[in-house]
Amino acid sequence: MGRWEVMVGNKAIAYAAKLARVQFISAYPITPQTSVVEYLAEMVASGELDAEFVNVEGELTAQTAALGASAAGARAFTATSGPGLLYMHHPMHATSGGRFPVVMAVIHRSVKGMQPDHSDMMAQRDTGWIMLECENSQELLDTGIMAFKIAEDERVRLPTIFAGDGYILSYTAEPVEIPSQEDVDAFLPPYRSSYPLLPGLAEEARRVQMEQWGIGQDPQLRWRRQQEAMEAAKMVIMEVNEEFYKWFGRRYGNGLVEEYRCDDVEAFIVAMGTIASTARTAIDRLQAKGRRIGLVKLKSFRPFPSEEFRRLGAMVRAIGVIDRNISLGSGGITFQEIRSSLYDLEERPRILGFHAGLSGKEVRVGDIEMICEKTLRAAKGEGPPSLVEWI
């Protein structure tokens, strides 16, 4: 049995790493991530957690050292925010390219300003990491534990981010159930690398190394293998989500997306992170007034659940997508990817895009109600077939 404690999101993240019995932590401060590594430092100092705790001199080293520890066969963890994540960008490609199952917590901070949006993680979109988004502190703790199981699965072997909005989660206290160590140990066995960097494994290490370099083979092969691992990860994420439910009684939709009150609706909105929590209230209010609109929370940004959106898109007449990000010169990133996923449908729903919450701009329930009303109007065939708005 677990126990309950009122804690901030950053402490929930630290508990996830502790319960996963991480063996290596690279730590570097950046607001609003800093207290994650402070909590872990205290856990190591008190003997609660037995791990290598390395105070590094920058995020680039934090990432590269975690990569090295993972290559040696240890379970490695690090955490960062915003500009720190940008500084890690370069070695993040090496971590995924080497297929090292490092797990990292990202506490979102905008790349423009201190407040949260998803621009920091979206700038890592193509680094080959699995990216799982969380909406509250309980989900951070649970997803953190699941992240190790997903990353280390032999079918996957990809580094994994679990993320939550800075400030809104990092420094806000709420009740969180901490699973017991015994249950987590049973759910998540110790990490045993199949390819530790060790003498005696020279030939195998060289083979893996050559594959990473793309030497002696189709140079594209390593890209293809990584993409295949990403595809395989969809199934693994769903399996792990179900297994977690069996052990701990909590799950997050099917692991990829979570439907909230989507039965018998004519439209739904899509949101990631804490905006999804606000959206639940908006949906409740509107459904109480008889509006037929639901919410789909996007949990797995990478791999992107295109199949799920095709399935869900076939059931409605309009979708409103909220993006706490923008690809400047192009548009909302999840809007575009969902829109692209719907292309193969015989009858496509209308799709609207909304930019909201960038650089921490507050997103109120009323804002989301307005987004819902616009989406419902589109479902009735009113207005243009597609639209992008700033909230």
Applying CB under 8 A, the residues found at the interface with other proteins are: 23-24, 26, 51-52, 54-58, 60-74, 76, 90-91, 93-94, 97-98, 196-199, 201-202, 205-206, 209, 212-213
**The two structure tokens encoding residue 53:** 């705790």
Closest approach, Cβ 204 to other proteins, in A, equals: 9
Residue 106 CA to residue 72 CA, distance in Å, equals 24
Task: Report in angstroms how near the CB of residue 61 gets to other proteins at its nearest.
Answer: 4
Q: Whole-angstrom distance between the N-terminal and C-terminal Cα of the chain?
A: 43
Nearer to other proteins, 99 or 297 (CB): 99
Closest CA to 161 of 92, 98, 261: 92
Nearer to other proteins, 223 or 390 (CB): 223
Alpha helices, DSSP H only, in the chain? 9-19, 34-45, 59-72, 82-97, 119-122, 137-152, 181-187, 202-213, 221-248, 274-288, 306-313, 333-341, 365-379
Nearer to other proteins, 74 or 262 (CB): 74
Provide the minimum distance between the beta carbon of 229 and other proteins in the complex, in angstroms, as a whole number.
19
Closer to other proteins at the Cβ: 72 or 235?
72
Which CB atom, from 2 or from 196, has the smaller least distance to other proteins? 196
CB of 192 or CB of 246, closer to other proteins: 192
Min dist. Cβ of residue 127 to other proteins (A): 13
Residue 272 backbone zone (phi > 0: left; psi -120 to 50: alpha; other: beta): beta
Q: Which is nearer to other proteins, 183 or 211 (CB)?
A: 211
Minimum CB separation from other proteins for residue 366, in Å?
Answer: 47
Separation between Cα atoms, residue 92 and residue 102, nearest integer Å: 10
CA atoms within 13 A on the CB side of 10: 25
DSSP assigned state of 217: S
Residue 220, token pair as written in the block: 């594209």
**In whole angstroms, how large is the CA radius of gyration of the chain?**
21
The nearer residue to other proteins, 200 or 384, going by C-beta atoms, is: 200
Q: Which residues are within 8 A (CB) of 202 and not within 5 positions of it... i.e. 6 or more apart?
A: none
Beta carbon of residue 178, minimum distance to other proteins (angstroms, whole number):
24
CB of 163 to other proteins, least distance (A): 22
Nearest to 103 by CA among 54, 162, 157, 170: 162
Measured over the CA atoms of residue 222, residue 326, residue 351 and residue 298, the dihedral's sign is positive
Q: How far is the CB of 147 from other proteins (least distance, A)?
A: 19
